[in-house]
Amino acid sequence: MLVLNKYVLYLSVAMMFFTMGTIIALGTAKIDDWRKVTSEKLLTESQKTEDSKKSLIFLEEASLLYPSENTYLYTGIKAQEIGFNNIAAYYLKHVKTAIGFRELANAYNQNGKYTFAETNYKKSLDKENNPDTWYLLGKNYLNQAKAPEASYAFVQVTRLDESNLEAKYLTELTALIIDENKTVNLDGLEESNRQSLAGLVASSSRSTRINRIFSYAKGLGYPQLAYKYLREKGEAGKLDRDGCLLLANELFLRKDFSASYQVLLKAKEIDRNYPQTYQHLIEVAKSLGKFDEAKQHQLYLDNITW
């Protein structure tokens, strides 16, 4: 009888815990349902409002209530749209899909964190071989002054999407940056891009091409690419007088006065009677504290410009 009572007691206790667990589970399920439904309503509200910042607030609340790759993705993209790239990166780090990695890379790219962006573009490509991602990676490489890598990326774009004429144009441009003597293929390009590339190769002079390519790359918004290109040509001894002046100016802007001075002396060797060279030599010599040399350059300038 005692054994039976103990069994009944144990069974009662077990039933009590089972009942409590069921109640808690049902309560948790209801809470989860409420969080999910409320999160979806907030996502809908975020799409309705035209106020981008208010939309972001809705999305952040939705992500907090019901964290998921979708809510994080929407929140990250919206934050990126309005320039809150640090917030975008915070949310997009949780999205492990191709588009998630790509959008995270975009956020890093806009913050100038090009190496982080490159890593995430590659992760996106590991998930999906997408021409748009290759294109963005190519542009990222241009920002990092990596012309060969950019050229490879743009070639992948054209292989996957022949209709992307911008990628075809950038393929030809980066190939020209790698080798200024390359014959460019202008077929199928948009008229403005065709004219631009034709203008770069119009001269048979290598040094003139180099100067034009430098100025063009800088004008496109890739100053590091342009500078690296010109510096390498200078180190290879391929610059003419005007190219030396361009490089000297770039070095001067970077406050590398000693290197700028040496390049200007090279420009003087190429053409001893060009006034602009001496004007720069005087300024840079003074920056280096070479006041006697600055006076000598001034005297020579006076002699050739009287």
pTM: 0.80
Tell me the one-letter amino acid at 42. L
pLDDT digits (tens, 9 = 90+) for 237-287: 999 999 999 999 999 999 999 999 999 999 999 999 999 999 999 999 999
Hey, which of 12-21, 64-73, 225-234 has the most confident mean pLDDT?
A: 225-234
Q: How far apart are CA 45 and CA 36, in angstroms?
A: 14
Q: What 3-state class would DSSP assign to 74? A: helix
Answer whether 40-128 and 241-306 agree in fold: yes
Q: How far apart are CA 278 and CA 245, in angstroms?
A: 11
CB atoms under 10 Å from CB of 44, counted, come to: 11
Q: Let me know: does 154 contact 182? Beta carbons within 8 Å.
A: no
Is residue 64 pLDDT above 70, yes or no? yes
Q: Let me know: does 58 contact 40? Beta carbons within 8 Å.
A: no
Is residue 155 pLDDT above 90, yes or no? yes
Domain 40-128 sits in CATH 1.10.540.10: no
Instruction: Quickly tell me which residue has 């390519």 as its tokens.
Output: 213
CATH number for domain 241-306, candidates 1.10.1660.10, 1.25.40.10, 3.40.50.850, 1.20.140.10: 1.25.40.10
Residue ranges covered by each domain of the chain: 40-128, 132-239, 241-306
